[in-house]
Amino acid sequence: MDAGLAERLRDGTRAHHRATERAGIMPALLGGRLSVWRFAALQRNLHEIYGALEPALERHAGHAAIAAIHQPVLERCGHLAADLIDLHGPAWRDELPVVPATLDYVERIRRLEHDEPEALVAHAYVRYLGDLAGGQVLKGIVARSFNLDAGKGTGFYDFGAPDQVARLARDFRAGLALVPQHGASIDRLVAEACWAFDQHVLLFCGLETV
What is the SS3 assignment for the chain? CCCCHHHHHHHHHHHHHHHHHCCCCHHHHHCCCCCHHHHHHHHHHHHHHHHHHHHHHHHCCCCHHHHHHCCHHHCCHHHHHHHHHHHCCCCHHHHCCCCHHHHHHHHHHHHHHHHCHHHHHHHHHHHHHHHHCHHHHHHHHHHHHCCCCCCCCCHHHCCCCHHHHHHHHHHHHHHHCCCCCCHHHHHHHHHHHHHHHHHHHHHHHHCCCC
Please state the closest distance from residue 30 (CB atom) to ligand HEM, in A: 6
Please state the closest distance from residue 153 (CB atom) to ligand HEM, in A: 17
Binding mask 9-28 for ligand HEM (x = CB under 6 A): xx------x--xx----x--
Which one of 46-54, 87-95, 107-115, 121-129 is the stretch in contact with ligand HEM (CB under 6 A)?
121-129
Exactly one of 4, 55, 117, 134 binds ligand HEM (CB under 6 A); which one? Answer: 134
Which one of 58-66, 126-134, 146-154, 178-186 is the stretch in contact with ligand HEM (CB under 6 A)?
126-134
- Which chain residues interact with ligand HEM by CB under 6 A? 9-10, 17, 20-21, 26, 30, 125-126, 129-130, 133-134, 137, 197, 200
